[in-house]
Structure 1
Amino acid sequence: MPEPAALSPLHPLNDRRFVFIGVPVLALLVLLPRGLLHVRSWQELVVAWLISLVFTTAFWLSGRALWLGLFRRMPRVEQTARRLWWLAGTNTLTAMLVTLGLGNVAAWTQGGQLDAATFWFEFGLNMVPTVVVQLIYESRHFFQQWTENVRRAEQLQSAGVQSQLEALQSQLDPHFLFNNLNTLSALIEPENEPAQQFVEQLADVYRYVLLTRDKTTVPLAEELAFVDTFLALHKARFRDNLRVTTAVPSAALGHFVAPLSVQLLVENALKHNVASREHPLELRLSADTAAGYFTVENTLRPRTAGLAPGTGTGLRNVRHRYELLRAPRLVEVRSADGWFRVRLPLLSAS
């Protein structure tokens, strides 16, 4: 499956407060182990602080730029460990080179050489602003991501409930309907096989709705099995006026879709288009694992009488649910050459 494009942070990186407050405070703190408490005058303190301020600002802004660059290249959750390793390695190498360069210059101006003890001491102090900067930005991003996931989970639950209500189209408890359909099946005469089969298929439809009501995704194989049952119920009414073609490779069946999303598209096609002997409704279900899409398409002959024109609520709901699921691609809807097509992104296991 193609990788999604690199992302920017969940929210704009408005970090002026961090920079304007954090840099001066950090510049002062890193002076403590360098003898801040033993300075002889406030003038000496100001000069030391200004020098520290320059280097702290450089460390802060370079660390910020490094974090942003790596985040844009490795934004996903599963890339966090890799991103942190890159940050640690690059920051450590940078701090070592800066310490080595500045230490040699300082030692040369004093007519001496940089010894190992001084190097490691200064290297440790130079790592302080580097580590602090990375902790600030990673922690901030983690909190933003956590907040976003909580909001997304709430919206996804709300969208799932709405889709179930649209699928059921009833105020009755689905458990009540399911149980009574099984009772009705037992009451039908055994020799009346078509009626028996129809009731059992109707019960299967409600069983699937009940089983998926708390799921955010389902395997494509399960959704297609449900759609086959759903279409079998309509074939009893439409007969040859409804022609269904399915072309789904076995490799696609292991992918996932939002529950009832394929059924909703099929239902829309049946609800809003003519299906007659003169103009049979053709419905095609297909999957393309290379492109990462499942496609539902139907001949476009809108009904001119009967039901009110569609409002697009169902399609908006499908789009919104896939956005909440962070699908790697957008839901595509297009109408051309007498066909109406909707492409749903194939998802990985949630």
Structure 2
Amino acid sequence: MTTLITKIKALMTPRLTVLITVWLLVVFGMMAYYKARFVISGEFPWTTMFAMFSLDAVFGYIVATILVFGGEAVGRMVDRLTKNSFSVVSAATIRYFTCATFGVLAVSAAAYGWFTLLFGFDTSPEFLVDMAVLSVGMPLVINGLMETFHYHGAWQAERFEKESAAREALRAEFEALRNQVSPHFLFNSFATLSHIIEEDPKRAAEFLENLSGVFRFVLQNREADTVPLSEELAAVEALLKVHQMRVPDGLVVETAIPAEALAHPIPIMALYTLVENALKHNVVSAERPLSISINFGPDNVLVVENNLQPKRTRHSLGTGLENLDRRLQHLLKAKLDIQKTDSKFIVRAPLMAVS
């Protein structure tokens, strides 16, 4: 049974689905219209409303098959004959009039053969006019539905392709950023380590442990798009400890994240980027300590704030923040909220909901 259903699904192309849908609409539409009409006029008893194999019902099946599947076959034949010979508009016009003419002639012939030749009934002019109108209108309905499905499908495919391309470009850009996680920071860290390793081995071991914690987090989550806030916060705290050991009294850190917020997923390297941005663009020294606060604001927003004391060098254009902003737009349809005053730099990043 499952195999049969699978085969049927494979056969049900969008085009065939449209044709079957229109066929059913024509069949039941004709039956409802004429049965109701005859019952109301008193020509037939009301019990005939449910007769699925009466003369008029069977004729409805015949007409629907002629107009839908016969018209589709004629239309495809016209498409083959007009391909590369006419403009799109001309080919569509030829297809329509050919299908309409076929429908009128074929349905008229079917009505005459079914009612007159087989059963000896006369077909009224009014009935023939109804069939002619149906025959002329059916190609418009079918072609309209086909074009709607075609363009909707093409639009969906194009949108998916664009989103995939944008996602891949964003991922490639982020990979480039992640692969070069602050080589300047790494160089300075090793310089600091070599300086303190002989003076204070215990402090050097602590320094190395924090440094390895930062890079372990980066390496272990290379393929991840999101991580729990708790994991990234641990890596960021290790990063900040490294900087505090490099520049004693040069960094003041305040973290206020409630326990219930730690389970929130966060785009990978989001908090890291915000903190690194503060460290990268500001003076950090014992004479001019840099203050960084990490807080959890209302509406699931992560807030990173630092006092503003910019470096004089101009070696970066804020690529990390720009990439994070685009990743947030892609994942959450939300943007970074960046506020800069004379004394402070504040960034608010929305968090993902806990699933």
TM range (shorter): 0.5 to 0.7
Correspondence for 1:264 among 258, 265, 273 = 273
1:160 aligns with 174
Of all paired residues, the percent bearing the same amino acid is: 31
CA distance in 1, matches of 2:325, 2:51: 61
Residue pair 1:272, 1:309 contacting (<8 A) in 2 also: no
- The alignment of Structure 1 onto Structure 2 pairs a total of residues equal to 246
The structure with the larger Rg is 2
Correspondence for 1:169 among 169, 177, 183 = 183
Q: Indicate whether 1:340 and 2:345 are aligned.
A: yes
Residue pair 1:261, 1:318 contacting (<8 A) in 2 also: yes
Q: TM-score, normalised by structure 1?
A: 0.56
Shift of 1:102: 7.8
Correspondence for 1:116 among 47, 50, 53 = 50
**SS at 1:167 equivalent:** coil
Structure 1 residues 299 and 108: CA distance shift in structure 2, 3 A: same
Superposed counterparts of 1:61-100, under 5 Å: none
For structure 1, the residue ranges without an aligned partner over 5 or more in a row are 1-21, 35-94
CA distance in 2, matches of 1:162, 1:206: 15
Residue pair 2:292, 2:304 contacting (<8 A) in 1 also: yes
- CA RMSD of the aligned region, Å? 4.4
2:306 aligns with 298
AA partner of residue 325 (structure 2): R
Correspondence for 1:239 among 245, 248, 265 = 248
CA distance in 2, matches of 1:274, 1:254: 33
CA distance in 2, matches of 1:116, 1:214: 62
Shift of 1:246: 0.7
Deviations 1:18-64 (A, max 9, x none): xxxx9xx9699639986xxxxxxxxxxxxxxxxxxxxxxxxxxxxxx
Shift of 1:167: 1.6
CA distance in 2, matches of 1:205, 1:276: 22
CA distance in 2, matches of 1:191, 1:239: 14
Q: TM-score, normalised by structure 2?
A: 0.56
Deviations 1:236-278 (A, max 9, x none): 1332231111111111111112222211221111122233455
Residue pair 2:247, 2:286 contacting (<8 A) in 1 also: no
AA partner of residue 326 (structure 2): H
Shift of 1:316: 0.9
CA distance in 2, matches of 1:189, 1:276: 23
Q: Indicate whether 1:192 and 2:201 are aligned.
A: yes
CA distance in 2, matches of 1:316, 1:287: 22
Residue pair 1:190, 1:196 contacting (<8 A) in 2 also: no
2:317 aligns with 311
Shift of 1:117: 3.2
Residue pair 1:167, 1:264 contacting (<8 A) in 2 also: no
CA distance in 2, matches of 1:26, 1:110: 34
Structure 1 residues 281 and 33: CA distance shift in structure 2, 3 A: closer
CA distance in 2, matches of 1:270, 1:330: 22
CA distance in 2, matches of 1:328, 1:311: 24
**SS at 1:298 equivalent:** strand
Shift of 1:234: 0.5
AA partner of residue 214 (structure 1): E
CA distance in 2, matches of 1:102, 1:296: 72
1:7 aligns with none
Structure 1 residues 102 and 144: CA distance shift in structure 2, 3 A: farther
Residue pair 1:243, 1:280 contacting (<8 A) in 2 also: yes
AA partner of residue 164 (structure 2): V
Superposed counterparts of 1:23-42, under 5 Å: 30=23
Structure 1 residues 101 and 221: CA distance shift in structure 2, 3 A: farther
CA distance in 2, matches of 1:347, 1:339: 26
Residue pair 1:293, 1:345 contacting (<8 A) in 2 also: yes
CA distance in 2, matches of 1:102, 1:33: 12
Residue pair 2:329, 2:335 contacting (<8 A) in 1 also: yes
Superposed counterparts of 1:141-160, under 5 Å: 143=157, 146-148=160-162, 150-160=164-174
AA partner of residue 218 (structure 2): V
2:79 aligns with none
CA distance in 1, matches of 2:157, 2:265: 28
Residue pair 1:221, 1:254 contacting (<8 A) in 2 also: yes
CA distance in 2, matches of 1:200, 1:230: 10
